[in-house]
Amino acid sequence: MTRRPKFRQAASSARDLAAEVVYLCDQDGMYANVAWSQALSGKEMDPRDRRFAMEIAYGSIRRKKTLDWVIDQASTRPSRQMDPLARALLRTGAYQLMFMSRVPPHAAVSESVNSARRLGHRGLASFVNAVLRRIASPGYSPEFPDRKGDPVGFLSVSQSYPEWLVRLWIDEYEMDVARTMLEAGNEAPTVVLRANRRTTDRSGLSRLLASGGVPTEPGFYCPEALRISGAIDGVESLPGYDDGLFSVQDESSMLVGHVMGVDGLCSMGEGAGGDGPLGERPLVIDTCAAPGGKATHIAELGGDRVQVVACDLSEERVSMIQEAAARLELSSLQAVCCDARELPQAYSGKADAVLVDAPCSGFGVLSRRPDARWRKSPGDIEELSALQAEILDAAAQCVKPGGVLVYSTCTVGFRENRGQAERFAAKHEEFSPSAIGPYMPSDKARALCSADGYIVELLPGMSGTDGFFIARFVRESGSNG
């Protein structure tokens, strides 16, 4: 039985912390964010060291296929047969050598060896030293699969992705687009803030952040979007967070709130007693709402003129929605715990608009989730597609005649996106595709719409946003399903 490393006995070193996170993900199967929280717990560390540790840890997890390939060629022992701590230390050391040009090679090697001594033993340190010194040597050049003869194998190893996913993207998007998407998944993601339009605007928020030393620039598509230019040590520490002046949300996701057409619903509500009790206002349902980004955005866009019901299957995740709504002071949002497939029992034919932001494979946000690419399989896509269809069919029953249904995912690929939208349209003749362009918040956003008008498909590396999909439908007036 492998002895557990001495993580608790180690100094609060950034490289020790990174190795611990990689070890916990590899050996214990933890999600990267959970491993990070556990490893960081109880450690006092300078913010710069924390950011350095996270860059190494998450990069090593994301790039593990490339790293293992290189390590295997530099070692007499395959990485899959190594002690888990040795594998973690070699991955974090090799990551610094291969992908962090600002780290001197001698520092990457020597500090990894020091970590091996602290966390393991002298023999481990010698082994780590030998392998990393070979990788760092000027003449070392690991051989990848042939770029022309085996393009799938080459991209799988060089960009660090499962072969099945590389093959799928090449088949669906062709080589150049697939390569761009793969490369984008390895880039550090941009933090984007959504100004809470009820309490501030983008300019005011930008000035506030600038006063705290945080540079920003306007978003590409949405008037409430603000992109952070530099590194930060957590959004909770930013000026205005506790006051509810902003939320963290990528612009691709912000577009959904606009596509819901809340302004039109508000006008409808005003004409039918919009100043009355909450129950008389237009009803918007977010079927799979946690952690609440889109639901709170819809509530912000609608002010107190709409009622937003945000649903999730998990009570813990419902609490996340409630906390977000409280921080943003959104009294029009109600969070409820329920299975989206059972919503018709309470809301059949009652909703003016329904959002199905469905559970999906998440391949549009791989840059934000370093371990996600290793946790999915083709079978998962099949299961998720079936679940998406069930939720869509249930949501359709909740939409009143003349109402809106929006389907979105944070993934890419035909099966979960356009294929799902086409399946829904073919099955539900009471719904018609609805042009998205009129609801987009800017001319640049309108240019994103597909040729058929009712779909927006954003690909990683192509639009300056996460990968995302949106389709809009309207239920025919007078239809009963």
Print the SS3 string covering the chain: CCCCCCHHHCCCCHHHHHHHHHHHHHHHCCCHHHHHHHHHCCCCCCHHHHHHHHHHHHHHHHCHHHHHHHHHHHCCCCHHHCCHHHHHHHHHHHHHHHHCCCCCHHHHHHHHHHHHHHHCCHHHHHHHHHHHHHHHCCCCCCCCCCCCCCHHHHHHHHHCCCHHHHHHHHHHHCHHHHHHHHHHCCCCCCCEEEECCCCCCHHHHHHHHHHCCCCEEECCCCCCEEEECCCCCCHHHCCCCCCCCEEECCHHHHHHHHHCCHHHHHHHHHHCCCCCCHHHCCEEEECCCCCCHHHHHHHHHHCCCCEEEEEECCHHHHHHHHHHHHHCCCCCEEEEECCHHHCHHHHCCCEEEEEEECCCCCCCCCCCCCCHHHCCCHHHHHHHHHHHHHHHHHHHHHEEEEEEEEEEECCCCCCCCHHHHHHHHHHCCCEEECCCHHHCCCHHHHCCECCCCCEEEECCCCCCCCCEEEEEEEECCCCCC
Contact 456, 436 (CB under 8 A): yes
CA-to-CA distance for 466 and 130, rounded, in angstroms?
A: 40
- Asked whether this chain's domains 7-136 and 251-475 adopt the same fold, the reply is no
CA-to-CA distance for 434 and 128, rounded, in angstroms?
A: 59
Task: Output the CA–CA distances (angstroms, integers) from residue 146 to 98, 139, 186, in the order listed.
Answer: 20, 20, 21
Q: Tell me the two tokens of residue 139.
A: 């003449």
Q: Is 160 left (phi over 0), alpha (psi -120 to 50) or beta?
A: left
CA-to-CA distance for 425 and 181, rounded, in angstroms?
A: 28
Output the pLDDT for position 273.
39
Q: Tell me the two tokens of residue 184.
A: 């984008």
CATH number of the domain located at residue range(s) 7-136 in this protein: 1.10.940.10
Tell me which of 3.40.50.620, 3.30.70.260, 3.40.50.150, 3.40.50.970 is the CATH number of domain 251-475: 3.40.50.150
Q: Check 266, 360, 410, 449 and give the catalytic one.
A: 410
Which residue is listed with tokens 């060291």?
Answer: 49
Residues of the chain under the 50 pLDDT cut: 1, 271-279
Output the pLDDT for position 45.
87
Q: Tell me the two tokens of residue 13.
A: 């070193």
398-419, pLDDT tens digit by residue? 999 999 999 999 999 999 999 9
368-377, pLDDT tens digit by residue? 999 999 999 9
Output the pLDDT for position 264.
79
Catalytic site residue 410?
yes
- The residue extents of the domains of the chain are 7-136, 151-184, 251-475
pTM (2 decimals)? 0.93
Question: Amino acid letter at 286?
Answer: D
Interhelix angle 64-74/84-99, nearest 10 degrees? 100
